[in-house]
Amino acid sequence: MSTPSVETQEWVKQLRKQLQKASYAYYVLDNPIMEDAIYDRLYRELQDLENQYPQLVTPDSPTQRVGERPATQFQSVRHNIPLYSLENAFNVEEFAQWQQRWQRVVPKEEFAYVCELKIDGSAIALTYENGILVRGATRGDGEYGEDITQNIKTIRAIPLRLTADPPPAVVEVRGEAFLPLDVFHKINREREANGEQPFANPRNAAAGTLRQLDSRVVAERHLDCFAYTLHIPGEEETEMAATQWDALEQLHALGFKVNPNRVLCRSLDEVRDYYDRWEGDREALPYMTDGVVVKLNDKGLQAELGFTQKFPRWAVALKYAAEEAPTVVEGVTVQVGRTGALTPVAELSPVQLAGTTVSRASLHNSDRLAQLDLHLGDTAIVRKAGEIIPEVVRILPELRPQGAIRFQMPDRCPECGEPVVKPQSEAVTRCINASCPAILRGALIHWGSRDALDINGLGEKLVEQMVDRGLVRSVPDLYDVTVEELAKLERFGKKSAQNLVNAIAESKTKPWSRVLYGLGIRHVGGVNAQLLAEKFPDVDRLASASIADIEGIYGIGLEIANSVYQWFRVCANQGAIDRLKTIGVQLSQQPQTETTGDRARSSNLTGKTFVLTGTLPSLKRSEAKQIIENAGGKVTGSVSRKTDYVVVGEEAGSKLAKAQELGITLLTEEQLLDLVEN
């Protein structure tokens, strides 16, 4: 391999710099500074030099946007920062209710919102190290996504190198990749001409494109991207962007494309005006949008509000009304959920709705059926609730065929054949047979879900086989299943069986709050389970608690309290708890050894609020945060009068000064660990 001259090396750097500058002007600023022919000539010259001197190729070179060979698969990667979905509001009144909710948590008189159009695309996560793009990933389930870096590099609106000099050591950027409408229609025309199935909508097309194994195909589809969130570990983030508006401006300065239609609003009226304006004007946009994303502008306030189990409390998606379409009801099937609820589902003549083909729609319950007066063969108006779940809105009786039969809910469970009941206080018809296969399948899947006992490998199809073959008749039976029994199931070898048995055994160590959530008590989600576990540190105390005791917990209402109380009065549930105790599942807040730092779980810090600042001697921030949370504490991103402790490391920044000003107790790493252990 020949060695390039110093002049050649410098010329390659200049070529790369000029091409990056021209690409940024064209794709991000929409203001070309170089004719296409000149760009192509310079690009070819750079390409030729890199072919001649491969040692000059860098990850941020414009020639590296398209890979040479297709990938064979995508690797699953864990996001450094989770990608939360947004809570939805479907009108300005619901938005006002969201505003009232967060103000109850953090009362504040003056605040501002940043409004951006909600792009109908596919969320992506980008990681830059020392200014260079090192990873691009799909959203996935919010915690884990797929590494699609090579495909991300084909999107010209995403810089391979940040323009900051010097750049932060690590930058995390969130964005939305999308297909412009003209590109989407062009692709579909080509697919139809080639006898291929057209994409249902731009969102599906964008998601499918990002997961193409051949990045050359991705490049041909000309995806675009808007960046909307900036994360920089440590103090540097607040220094660069103290507000959401600053973050968008900073993203633009770093070389990203941000939505030009963003606006800073000072009141609910201004948000309403923005929302109303774009409800009509969005039809003229070159991309699809289905609403407005509203975020609190103050980053400190965002940190103080934090997150629920699913959503950030400081942001909401204000959605536009869903599209509606007529279709014919060809039949009705009844599904049985894990709580025994019977849900009727309309089987429809396929219809296009909000860009997707819909052939089934929820009818909710027997009360809703009675309101609709549904007959088989009726013409129904269908829409997507939250633009996700299709539902029947109304029936057009004037189009009802002669002799049509009215649909009636079954009086016996379609899964087990036992009689069903409909409590007077509820709209839902239920199967109350605890041995019903549908209820058992749902209970097992819920027990093994990630937020509950997190049993890797316990999937829906496997659970179905285990129930159908009689291997398990209750949740505790899971812990008696053997490798030999599992190895006899379809598509399940001895190694897979052993891995599942190991995962089931490991689930015994999961904390009491997750076990409580896994029990599947109606209305008890992950957050409520945590609140209950903190108040009642073992199952016996919770089982003997009165409705008033349970309802007395802040955040727990009467409906939840009633549900928990009644659950522990059922003999079958009492028997299950006794068996789980014998098995060794954690039904109390007993100390557990954590992998992070091998620190013991305790409750010494329950209710205390911590802030971390600076670099700690031996712990990463994520490790310190985990230790605090395992001990019952809470970690926030900003110092306020509600902060109990500030943990201080080297090169502590403004948070230390704020803590000193407010007289908040300061801790070293060693003092923090002593506090946890004593």
pLDDT at 600: 37
Residue with tokens 């609709």, as numbered in its chain: 372
Residue of 21, 118, 510, 620 marked active site:
118
* 362, part of any domain: yes
* Claim to verify: residue 95 and residue 242 sit in the same structural domain: yes
> Does some domain include residue 631?
yes
Phi and psi at residue 529, to the nearest 5°:
-60, -40
pLDDT of residue 626: 75
Note the pLDDT of residue 598: 37
Domain extent for 532: 512-583
413 marked as binding residue: yes
Of 265, 287, 319, the domain-final residue: 319
Who wins on pLDDT, 673 or 281? 281
Residue 483 lies in a domain: yes
Question: How many CA atoms lie less than 13 Å away from 312 in the CB half-sphere?
Answer: 21
Domain co-membership, 130 together with 199: yes
599 pLDDT band (50/70/90 cuts)?
very low
Highest mean pLDDT among 53-57, 398-402, 590-594, 605-609: 398-402
177 near 224, Cβ under 8 Å? yes
CB neighbourhood size of 539 (10 A):
21
Q: What is the pLDDT of residues 604-654, one digit of tens each?
A: 677 788 888 887 877 777 778 778 877 778 887 778 878 888 998 876 767
Residue 601: band (very low, low, confident or very high) from pLDDT cuts 50, 70, 90: very low
On whether both 523 and 672 belong to a single domain, the answer is no
Residue 592 is predicted with a pLDDT of: 44
Rounded Cα distance, 414 and 437, in Å: 10
Is 36 assigned to a binding site? yes
Same domain, 116 and 207: yes
**Would you place residue 36 in the very low, low, confident or very high pLDDT band (cuts 50, 70, 90)?**
low
* Contact status, residue 521 vs residue 513, Cβ threshold 8 Å: no
Residues 234 and 231: their CA atoms lie apart, in Å, by 9
**Judgement on whether residues 283 and 150 belong to the same structural domain of the protein:** yes
Listed ranges 34-43, 199-208, 442-451, 626-635; the one with the highest mean pLDDT = 442-451
Q: Are residues 24 and 171 in the same domain?
A: no
Strands 609-613 and 634-636: parallel
416 is in an annotated binding site: yes
Is residue 576 domain-shared with residue 458, that is, in the same domain? no
Tell me whether residue 421 is in a domain: no
Indicate if the pLDDT at residue 250 is higher than 70. yes
Domain identity same for 259 and 123? yes
Same structural domain, 553 and 654: no
pLDDT of residue 319: 85
Answer whether residue 26 shows pLDDT above 70: no
Tell me, what amino acid is at 417? Answer: G
Q: Which has the closest alpha carbon to 55: 115, 3, 114?
A: 3
Q: Check which CATH number belongs to the domain holding 499 and give it.
A: 1.10.150.20
pLDDT (tens digit, 9 = 90+) per residue, 365-385? 888 888 899 999 999 988 875
Which CATH number goes with the domain that contains 138? 3.30.470.30
Q: What is the mean pLDDT of residues 307-312?
A: 79
Confirm if 349 and 327 have CB atoms less than 8 A apart.
yes
Q: How does 284-299 read in b/e, with b if 16+ C-beta sit within 10 Å?
A: eeebbbbbbbbbbbbb
Is the whole-model pTM more than 0.85? no
Q: Is 508 annotated as a binding residue?
A: no
Residue 651 lies in a domain: yes
Residue 652, pLDDT score:
74
151 and 235 in a common domain = yes
Q: Is 118 marked active-site?
A: yes
Averaged pLDDT for residues 124-144: 90
pLDDT band at 532 (very low <50, low <70, confident <90, very high): very high
Calculate what percentage of the chain has a pLDDT beyond 90: 36
Using the 3D structure, point to which of 508, 539, 559 is the last residue of a domain: 508
Q: Is 139 annotated as a binding residue?
A: yes
Task: Tell me if 116 is assigned to a ligand binding site.
Answer: yes
The mean pLDDT of 22-38, rounded to a whole number, is: 64
pLDDT score, position 578 = 94
Would strands 665-667 and 645-648 be described as parallel, antiparallel, or unpaired? parallel
Is a pLDDT exceeding 90 seen at residue 86?
Answer: no
Task: Report the mean per-residue pLDDT for the chain.
Answer: 84
627 and 668 fall within a common domain: yes
Judgement on whether residues 330 and 292 belong to the same structural domain of the protein: no
Highest mean pLDDT among 240-244, 480-484, 595-599: 480-484
What pLDDT does residue 555 have? 67
Number of independent structural domains in the chain = 6
